[in-house]
């Protein structure tokens, strides 16, 4: 297996690979860092290094993960991975390239798209839909029947109540309690969640 990305997200995914007794061959990164755990080599990405390999895009930023996906998707396959401590219902669909980190709980009839990060100890309740390139941060809790649209980021420890839709590329801040639908590109914080700006707007 190959990781694309060699920063923080790659370190935790490397740890996941080791916990699952799998083998990481090497990493690629557009700006290779000086060191990586276990002295693993980090190369500049090339077609030759990725061709027909099983790859995980190990980058936390949703937009960058999506950009890399479009750049390399013709060359390689994408691995889907879950930590052995996660509980994933047998009635769950998970797309290619998605990683499920330790202690996650995903309940019945949840659908998760491709290249999502379902981070440590987050909970996704029954019949919810998580679209492509979403990041659910550690300890976030999503109730049943919610929809998280493409590219949205749910922050650390946020809570989203049942039936809510979080729009495309929206950001839900750390600790936010989301009680109503969040528009596309909105940045929402607090309890109850309120819009503080839209992604791309001047602060
Ligand atoms: C929501 C977030 C993206 C906002 O970042 P930002 O656009 O740089 O916003 P600012 O820091 O300028 O804050 C804007 C206002 O919102 C408040 N605010 C920001 N984040 C908040 C949060 N999580 N909860 C409550 N209020 C928050 C700030 O205090 C500020 O209030 P003020 O205008 O009264 O001073 C960021 O604070 C956040 O929570 N990110 C999530 C981090 C995370 O979960 N990382 C996990 C990685 S795995």
> pLDDT tens for residues 35-56?
899 989 899 999 999 999 999 9
Beta-strand relationship, 186-189 and 194-198: antiparallel
**In angstroms, what is the span from residue 43 Cα to ligand 1's centroid?**
34
Mutation test of ligand 1: which of 104, 155, 198 has the most ligand atoms closer than 8 Å to its C-beta? Answer: 155
Say how many Å lie between the first and final Cα of the chain, rounded.
Answer: 40
Mean pLDDT within 10-21: 96
Q: What is the pLDDT of residue 34?
A: 87
**Which of these three, 78, 103, 133, is where a domain ends?**
78
Q: Is 16 helix (H, G, I), strand (E, B) or coil?
A: helix
**Which of these three, 78, 103, 124, is where a domain ends?**
78
Same domain, 64 and 131: no
**In angstroms, what is the span from residue 112 Cα to ligand 1's centroid?**
26
Same domain, 69 and 148: no
pLDDT for residue 203 is more than 80: no
pTM, 2 dp: 0.96
Q: Which domain holds residue 56?
A: 2-78
Q: Is 119 in the pocket of ligand 1 (CB under 6 A)?
A: yes
Position 203 in a domain: no
Positions marked active-site: 126
Contact 26, 39 (CB under 8 A): no
Same domain, 11 and 57: yes
Position 73 in a domain: yes
Position 51 in a domain: yes
Mean pLDDT within 104-115: 98
**Cα distance between residue 199 and residue 185, in whole Å:** 5
**Which of these three, 78, 113, 132, is where a domain ends?**
78
Same domain, 63 and 115: no
Q: What is the pLDDT of residue 158?
A: 98
Q: Is 12 in the pocket of ligand 1 (CB under 6 A)?
A: no
Mean pLDDT within 130-142: 98
């Amino acid at each position: 297996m190959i990781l694309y990305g060699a920063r923080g997200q790659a370190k935790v995914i490397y740890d996941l690979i080791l916990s699952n007794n799998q083998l990481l061959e090497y990493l690629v990164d557009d700006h290779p860092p000086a060191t990586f755990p276990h002295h693993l080599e980090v190369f500049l990405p090339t077609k030759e290094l990725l061709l027909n390999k099983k790859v995980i895009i190990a980058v936390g930023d949703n937009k960058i993960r999506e950009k890399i996906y479009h750049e390399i998707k013709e060359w390689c396959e994408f691995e889907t991975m879950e930590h052995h401590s996660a509980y994933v219902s047998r009635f769950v669909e998970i797309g290619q390239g998605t990683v499920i980190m330790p202690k996650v709980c995903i309940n019945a009839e949840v659908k998760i798209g491709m290249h999502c990060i379902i981070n440590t100890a987050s909970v996704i309740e029954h019949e919810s839909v998580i679209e492509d390139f979403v990041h659910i941060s550690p300890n976030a809790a999503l109730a049943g029947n919610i929809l998280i649209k493409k590219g949205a980021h749910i922050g650390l420890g946020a809570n989203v109540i049942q039936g809510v839709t979080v729009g495309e590329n929206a950001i839900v801040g750390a600790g936010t309690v989301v009680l109503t639908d969040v528009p596309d590109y909105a940045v929402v914080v607090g309890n109850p969640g309120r819009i503080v700006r839209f992604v791309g707007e001047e602060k």
